[in-house]
């Protein structure tokens, strides 16, 4: 494992200046630990890139689906970021700490009327319209509320970044957004600009997640700029904003090779500047929605090892006290992680093991064939890069309680999400 981490003189893994085994002792396991400095530096790096490459003419909207709780919205707010929400629940959480509504982008491919009204009444700055039916419902809701809805349209640029390198697939098969090729994207904008309750602000795209290449992003930027040119030509409408989505990759294991974020920003901004000039368009206000790359590497989950079961000539199962209920990414996507025995962090990873969760399901694993030291019952097992899409995708499967989240910084820890209790589990049961 090439990953760098701090170890103290007891051979224990340190997180945010704290002994991880002490954190496990104090808060129990499983425990989500987030290193706040990592979050802050990612936010600041993105924000500085907007200043550097777009003269500050843009906004980073943290994609809160990656990790949503009150404290992360407070931090994003303090750092001057906007946020992207994708449900009434995320919107509620953001607003509950006073997040400025005008800096919120509201997404979703199937927003309910209730969510649309909630977003409008709250004064959300941008509603990203996904389909023609939604535009009608949005316009009707805006009329009912006697307000004008500021909208972006979600466009399918036809770049599929999830293939081996990446391919241009024309109209991709996706439940999200409007295709350019079929003319539906242009048609809906032509219609929207004439609607009295709709303010057409611009267009949005998001080509995928955990992307480690530049080309899909630069190609997408070209396609979106060309599309803006076409809109201007065909409808006369100005597209003042371009939202480029998120998707920048992080490091989970040595297989990942991250491109530094400013490289994406620089390459994409060059395209946008060139294309603006070529097409005679005003430089659009740029929005970006990084999620994973802001919180992913900040997170480490701590578990306690329980049963260690060796099946001769087959494999060794190291069972931990969490599993798919706190991290469903292995069972869902086969996602790979780095593992470390936090109380034996200075010892070599001499074994290859399967790390199993505690749910009543054979597929409830966190990793297979992973290098690990000699695991014994009572050891603390750390899993790195779990800050994104772990807590936010956790569940109460098997009525397990969702672990607490602790932020660590400069040798101090603070709970930002309390542990669920058994009472919480039955709270809504009749």
CA 214 to CA 258: how far, in whole Å? 10
- Give me 214's structure tokens: 């530049």
Q: Residue 5 or 176: which CB sits closer to ligand LLP? A: 176
Q: Does 298 interact with ligand LLP (rule: CB under 6 A)? A: no
Q: Which of 73, 106, 264, 389 binds ligand LLP (CB under 6 A)?
A: 389
Separation between Cα atoms, residue 186 and residue 364, nearest integer Å: 45
Q: Does 336 bind ligand LLP (CB under 6 A)?
A: no
Give strand ranges (E) for 205-332: 241-243, 285-288, 299-311, 315-320
Is residue 360 annotated as a catalytic residue, yes or no?
Answer: yes
| Site size with ligand LLP, rule: CB under 6 A | 19
Do residues 30 and 302 make contact, with C-beta atoms less than 8 angstroms apart? yes
By CB under 6 A, is residue 134 in contact with ligand LLP?
A: no
Q: Does 186 bind ligand LLP (CB under 6 A)?
A: no
Angle (CA) 401-406-412 rounded to 5° is 155
Site string for ligand LLP, 202-231 (x = CB under 6 A): ----x--xx---------------------
CB atoms within 10 A of CB 351: 15
Q: What angle is formed at CA 349 by the lines to CA 345 and CA 351, rounded to 5 degrees? A: 140
Taking residue 133's Cβ as centre, other Cβ atoms within 10 Å add up to: 10
Place of tokens 């997040």: 99
Compute the distance between CA of residue 164 and CA of residue 37 in angstroms, rounded to an integer: 33
| Residue 103 binding ligand LLP, by CB under 6 A | no
Rank residues 84 and 338 by Cβ distance to ligand LLP and give the closer one. Answer: 84
- Locate 374 and state its tokens: 């000699």
- Exactly one of 12, 292, 344, 409 binds ligand LLP (CB under 6 A); which one? 292
Least spacing, CB of residue 351 vs ligand LLP, in Å: 27
**Nearest to ligand LLP of 69, 145 (CB atom):** 69
Instruction: Select from 289, 326, 364, 379 the one that contacts ligand LLP (CB under 6 A).
Output: 289
Does 387 sit near ligand LLP (CB under 6 A)?
A: no
Residue 126 interacting with ligand LLP (CB under 6 A): no
> Catalytic one among 61, 105, 205, 360?
360
Query: Would you name the residues annotated as active-site residues?
Result: 360
Applying CB under 6 A, the residues found at the interface with ligand LLP are 63, 65-66, 84, 107, 206, 209-210, 245-248, 289-293, 329, 389
């Amino acid at each position: 494992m090439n990953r760098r981490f701090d170890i103290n003189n007891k051979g224990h893994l340190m997180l945010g200046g704290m002994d991880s085994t002490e954190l496990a002792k104090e808060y129990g396991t499983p425990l989500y630990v987030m290193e706040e400095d990592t979050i802050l530096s990612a936010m600041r790096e993105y924000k500085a890139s907007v200043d550097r490459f777009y003269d500050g003419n843009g906004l980073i909207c943290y994609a809160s689906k990656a990790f949503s709780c009150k404290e992360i919205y407070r931090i994003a707010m303090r750092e001057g970021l906007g946020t992207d929400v994708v449900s009434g629940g995320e919107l509620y959480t953001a607003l509950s700490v006073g997040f400025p509504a005008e800096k919120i982008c509201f997404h979703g491919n199937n927003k309910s009327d209730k969510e649309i009204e909630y977003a409008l009444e709250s004064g959300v700055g941008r509603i990203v319209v996904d389909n023609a039916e939604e535009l009608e419902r949005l316009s009707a809701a805006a009329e009912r509320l006697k307000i004008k809805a500021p909208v972006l349209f979600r466009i399918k640029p036809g770049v599929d970044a999830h293939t081996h390198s990446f391919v241009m697939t024309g109209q991709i098969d996706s439940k999200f957004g409007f295709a350019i090729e079929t003319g539906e994207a242009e048609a809906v904008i032509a219609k929207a600009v004439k609607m009295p309750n709709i303010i057409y602000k611009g267009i949005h795209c998001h080509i995928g997640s955990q992307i480690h290449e530049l080309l899909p992003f630069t190609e997408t930027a070209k396609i979106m700029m060309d599309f803006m040119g076409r809109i201007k030509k065909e409808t006369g409408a100005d597209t003042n904003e371009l939202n480029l989505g998120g998707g920048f990759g992080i490091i989970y294991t040595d297989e990942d090779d991250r491109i530094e974020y400013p490289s994406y920003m620089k390459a994409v901004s060059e395209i946008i500047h060139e294309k603006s000039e070529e097409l005679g368009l005003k430089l659009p206000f740029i929005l970006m929605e990084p999620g994973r790359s802001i919180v992913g590497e900040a997170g480490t989950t701590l578990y306690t090892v329980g049963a260690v079961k060796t099946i001769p000539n087959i494999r060794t199962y190291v069972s931990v006290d969490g599993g798919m209920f706190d991290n469903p990414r292995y069972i869902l996507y086969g996602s790979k992680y780095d593992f470390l025995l936090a109380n034996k962090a200075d010892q070599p990873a001499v074994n290859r093991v399967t790390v199993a969760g505690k749910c009543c399901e054979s597929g409830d694993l966190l990793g297979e064939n992973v290098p690990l030291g000699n695991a014994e019952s009572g050891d603390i097992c750390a899993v790195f890069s779990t800050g994104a899409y772990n807590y936010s995708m956790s569940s109460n499967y098997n009525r397990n309680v969702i672990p607490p989240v602790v932020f660590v910084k400069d040798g101090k820890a603070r709970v930002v999400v309390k542990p669920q209790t058994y009472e919480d589990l039955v709270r809504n049961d009749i």
